[in-house]
């Protein structure tokens, strides 16, 4: 999912470990420690720096109150008065949520209000990150509007300032700027789809081109590019990547895989279910790629011994890893980006995403049972491999990693109450293992790799350029038109669009592209519905094709390399092709989208 996607050969052998000498610091380790130090600094003071450099919004656009709406108490002729909305800042929370001038406020959070003082009292009691339910009377009918108080208020201020800057650009020049940026983006996504060049090199070159064009047109400078990078997301990626590396190097995954192989059951379908379930649960907390690198070789070994086609197993394991990654805040890149930048807690992902992902996992298993068969072969007589050899030093590293991971999960659960940034928790937990696990630090860095860190940083720079030129704003307006002004329909359009693009571009680039689009609509949606729609859409798309998830091409490469030495006798040869994956994955995607559409609609109307 996250790290080490450029090559699989560079990964150390699972279960083996190199132990460091006490003074094994070199320039690579020092550079990596410097990077972690910078990210820790940014986690604490990044938003303050953004506020300092961008400053306050234009004075004539200052919100009238915390939600950006002016209200007035108007006598009704009888007893009491009507609370009427007079002015609404379209770029403030109230305006983006759909509040309009001349709306009559009837209630707030289910309570009737009859005075401006009561309205101000309720609004003033709301904390950042919470939702205010406003019941208004419009055209003789009551309707509910959900206004979200953004956690970092600087985000909406910077967004508003960026939008206002674009309003002062003449239309012909604005069109030319957008066309240049759009052309660069199309080239980037085309090259990523064709996979003709290393993806990190592609995105860094296009990112540099976007920055040069932004400087030339005076729309997007180096400072804008710096703040476009989501360093908190990078921090979460690195922290969880260190955890995965130490668990892998200490032999934890090899031990789990051995026990799964021994207790897989007496039938192929039983083995398939066990492998998918373990892949799902491991992917809740460690990156998907690590679990695939562990279980795909075991699956191929069993297929060679028993003579069955391993491709349905491998596809099922890839989809299960996607489901596991989508269930938690730290499972995959899309959720890491959403959690760190939208302020959604670990607990909220567990409450809203894990139940639907478990339902989708059950439906996926039922679909495979009906379409794949899995009959005709018993696995009771297979020769089981011996348990992996783990020395005392590896066992000690394993215990330390599990200890740190458990405490990180505990802090993730309490992070919102303790007002702790989850990226800090991940970084400090990863740093403690990097320094004191006993695993060679250079092997940890090699396991993770810098390619993916650079890839996502370059991707953020490109998307930041699209925001600065106004293209994201126009895409948002187009989606709003297609939804006929209905927020629940807008969330479904966003989900299906994200799924279709993910099929060909991979989950990471799609999420980075759709994140600013979704950000502009979240104020009109209750209970983070827009974010759940985006996450579920990316999940469905990443399960449809071999390119959708990072683990897909890696699994296909492992199968092809192993198949050169061992003939499985499966249909279509020993390579997993795009069409073979899509023949199973596309129906699964449509099934996921159908169920997720019902779920998202339910959340909207019952939140």
Task: List, for residues 106-147, the tens digit of each pLDDT value.
Answer: 888 877 877 777 777 787 777 666 778 888 888 888 888 888
On the question of pLDDT at 21 being above 50, the answer is: no
**Could you give the angle at the alpha carbon of 407 between the alpha carbons of 405 and 413, nearest 5°?**
105
CATH assignment of 69-148?
A: 2.30.42.10
Q: What is the model's pLDDT at position 527?
A: 56
Q: CA 322, CA 388: separation in Å to the nearest integer?
A: 27
Q: What is the model's pLDDT at position 285?
A: 84
Task: List, for residues 272-296, the tens digit of each pLDDT value.
Answer: 888 899 899 988 988 787 788 878 8
Q: CA 334, CA 346: separation in Å to the nearest integer?
A: 14
- Evaluated on CA atoms 295, 297, 300, 304, the torsion sign reads negative
**Range of weakest confidence among 93-102, 147-156, 525-534:** 147-156
On the question of pLDDT at 10 being above 80, the answer is: no
On the question of pLDDT at 63 being above 50, the answer is: no
On the question of pLDDT at 168 being above 60, the answer is: no
Cβ atoms of 549 and 506 closer than 8 Å: yes
Q: Which residues of 496-531 are buried (b: 16+ CB within 10 A; e: fewer)?
A: bbbbbbbbbbbbbbbbbbbbbbbbbbbbbbbbbbbb
Q: What is the model's pLDDT at position 120?
A: 76
Task: List, for residues 540-590, the tens digit of each pLDDT value.
Answer: 999 998 888 878 888 887 787 776 655 555 555 567 888 889 999 999 999
CA distances from 225 to 41, 200, 212, 213, 323 (A): 18, 17, 11, 12, 32
Return all residues near 391 (Cβ < 8 A) that are at least 6 apart.
none
- Domain residue ranges in the chain: 69-148
Q: What is the secondary structure of 352-386 as a DSSP string?
A: HTHHHHHHHHHHHHHHHHHHH---S-B-TTPPPPP
Name the band, by pLDDT with cuts 50, 70 and 90, for residue 60. very low
Residue the block writes with tokens 């200052």: 62
Residue the block writes with tokens 């729309």: 219
Q: What is the model's pLDDT at position 99?
A: 83
Cβ atoms of 537 and 498 closer than 8 Å: yes
Cβ atoms of 57 and 160 closer than 8 Å: yes
What's the whole-number mean pLDDT along residues 399-419? 87
Q: CA 278, CA 297: separation in Å to the nearest integer?
A: 15
Task: List, for residues 178-225, the tens digit of each pLDDT value.
Answer: 898 889 988 988 888 777 778 888 999 999 999 999 898 888 888 888
Q: What is the model's pLDDT at position 13?
A: 42
Mapped onto helix, strand or coil, the DSSP state of residue 66 is: coil
Mapped onto helix, strand or coil, the DSSP state of residue 132 is: strand
What's the whole-number mean pLDDT along residues 238-244? 88
Return all residues near 357 (Cβ < 8 A) that are at least 6 apart.
323, 324, 326, 327, 539
Claim: this prediction has a pTM higher than 0.85: no
Name the band, by pLDDT with cuts 50, 70 and 90, for residue 463. confident
How distant is the alpha carbon of residue 178 from its chain centre?
27
Q: CA 542, CA 508: separation in Å to the nearest integer?
A: 10
Name the band, by pLDDT with cuts 50, 70 and 90, for residue 5. very low
The pLDDT mean for the chain works out to 79
Cβ atoms of 272 and 305 closer than 8 Å: no
On the question of pLDDT at 161 being above 60, the answer is: no
Name the band, by pLDDT with cuts 50, 70 and 90, for residue 159. very low
Alpha-helical regions (H) of 80-230: 93-97, 116-125, 153-167, 171-194, 199-216, 222-228
H/E element holding 484? none
Q: CA 541, CA 20: separation in Å to the nearest integer?
A: 41
Q: CA 519, CA 91: separation in Å to the nearest integer?
A: 12
Q: CA 280, CA 519: separation in Å to the nearest integer?
A: 29
What's the whole-number mean pLDDT along residues 91-97? 69
Q: Within 10 Å of residue 96's Cβ, how many Cβ atoms?
A: 22
Q: CA 309, CA 520: separation in Å to the nearest integer?
A: 46
Q: What percent of the chain has pLDDT over 90?
A: 19
Q: CA 401, CA 248: separation in Å to the nearest integer?
A: 10
**Range of weakest confidence among 38-42, 156-160, 247-251:** 156-160
What's the whole-number mean pLDDT along residues 228-244? 88
**Range of weakest confidence among 78-92, 214-228, 245-259:** 78-92
Highest mean pLDDT among 184-188, 480-484, 524-528: 184-188
Name the band, by pLDDT with cuts 50, 70 and 90, for residue 2. very low
**Range of weakest confidence among 96-105, 235-244, 274-283, 596-605:** 96-105
Radius of gyration from C-alpha coordinates of the chain: 26
Q: Within 10 Å of residue 12's Cβ, how many Cβ atoms?
A: 17
Name the band, by pLDDT with cuts 50, 70 and 90, for residue 315. very high
On the question of pLDDT at 517 being above 80, the answer is: yes
Phi/psi at 151 (5° precision): -65, -60
Q: CA 555, CA 314: separation in Å to the nearest integer?
A: 7
Q: What is the model's pLDDT at position 22?
A: 42
Q: Within 10 Å of residue 569's Cβ, how many Cβ atoms?
A: 11
Q: CA 461, CA 350: separation in Å to the nearest integer?
A: 30
Q: What is the model's pLDDT at position 525?
A: 63
Residue 555 in tokens = 């699994």
Name the band, by pLDDT with cuts 50, 70 and 90, for residue 330. confident
């Amino acid at each position: 999912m996250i790290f080490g996607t450029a090559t699989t050969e560079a990964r150390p052998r699972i279960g083996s470990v190199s132990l460091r000498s006490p003074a094994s610091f070199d320039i690579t380790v020092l550079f990596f420690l410097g990077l972690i130090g910078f990210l820790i600094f940014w986690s604490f003071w990044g938003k303050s720096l953004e506020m300092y450099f961008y400053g306050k919004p234009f004075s004539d656009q200052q919100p009238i109150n915390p939600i950006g709406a002016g209200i007035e108490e108007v006598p009704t002729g009888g007893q009491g008065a009507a609370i009427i909305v007079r002015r609404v800042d379209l770029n403030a929370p109230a305006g983006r949520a759909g509040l309009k001038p001349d709306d009559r406020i009837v209630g707030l959070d289910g309570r009737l209000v009859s005075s401006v003082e009561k309205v101000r009292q309720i609004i003033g009691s709301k904390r950042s990150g919470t939702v205010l339910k406003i019941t208004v009377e419009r055209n003789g009918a009551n309707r509910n509007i959900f206004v979200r108080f953004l956690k970092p208020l600087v985000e909406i201020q910077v967004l508003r300032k960026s939008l206002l800057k674009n309003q002062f650009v003449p239309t012909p020049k604005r069109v030319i700027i957008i066309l240049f940026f759009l052309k660069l983006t199309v080239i980037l996504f085309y090259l990523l789809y064709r996979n003709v060049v290393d993806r990190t090199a592609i995105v860094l070159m296009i990112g540099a081109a976007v920055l040069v064009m932004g400087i030339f047109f005076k729309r997007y400078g180096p400072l804008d590019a710096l703040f476009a990078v989501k360093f908190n997301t990078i921090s979460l990626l690195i922290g969880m990547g260190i955890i995965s590396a130490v668990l892998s190097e200490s032999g934890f995954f090899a031990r789990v895989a051995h026990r799964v192989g021994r207790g897989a059951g007496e039938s192929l379908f039983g083995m398939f279910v066990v492998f998918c379930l373990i892949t799902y649960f491991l992917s809740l907390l460690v990156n998907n790629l690590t679990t695939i690198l562990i279980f795909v070789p075991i699956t191929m070994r069993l297929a060679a011994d028993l003579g069955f086609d391993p491709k349905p197993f491998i596809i099922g394991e890839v989809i299960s890893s996607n489901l596991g990654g989508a269930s938690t805040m730290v499972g995959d890149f899309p959720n890491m980006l959403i959690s760190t930048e939208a302020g959604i807690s670990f607990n909220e992902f567990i409450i809203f995403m894990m139940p639907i992902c478990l339902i989708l996992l059950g439906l996926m298993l039922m679909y495979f049972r009906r379409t794949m068969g899995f009959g005709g072969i018993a696995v009771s007589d297979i020769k089981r491999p011996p348990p992996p050899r783990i020395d005392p030093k590896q066992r000690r590293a394993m215990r330390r990693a599990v200890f740190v991971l458990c405490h990180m999960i505990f802090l993730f659960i309490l992070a919102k109450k303790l007002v702790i940034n989850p990226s800090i928790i991940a970084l400090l937990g990863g740093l403690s293992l990097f320094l004191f696990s006993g695993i060679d630090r250079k092997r940890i860095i090699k396991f993770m790799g810098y390619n993916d860190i650079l890839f996502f940083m370059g991707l953020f720079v490109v998307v930041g350029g699209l925001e600065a030129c106004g293209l994201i704003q126009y895409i948002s307006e187009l989606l709003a038109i297609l939804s006929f002004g209905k927020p629940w329909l807008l969330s479904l359009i966003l989900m299906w669009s994200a799924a279709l693009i993910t099929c060909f571009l991979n989950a990471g680039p799609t999420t980075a592209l759709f994140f600013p689009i979704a950000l502009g609509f979240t104020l009109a949606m209750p209970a983070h519905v827009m974010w759940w729609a985006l996450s579920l859409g990316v999940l469905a798309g990443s399960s449809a094709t071999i390119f959708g998830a990072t683990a897909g091409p890696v699994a296909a490469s492992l199968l092809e390399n192993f198949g050169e030495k061992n003939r499985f006798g499966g249909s279509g040869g020993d390579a997993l092709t795009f069409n073979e994956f899509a023949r199973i994955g596309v129906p699964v995607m449509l099934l996921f989208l159908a169920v997720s559409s019902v779920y998202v609609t339910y959340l909207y109307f019952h939140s």
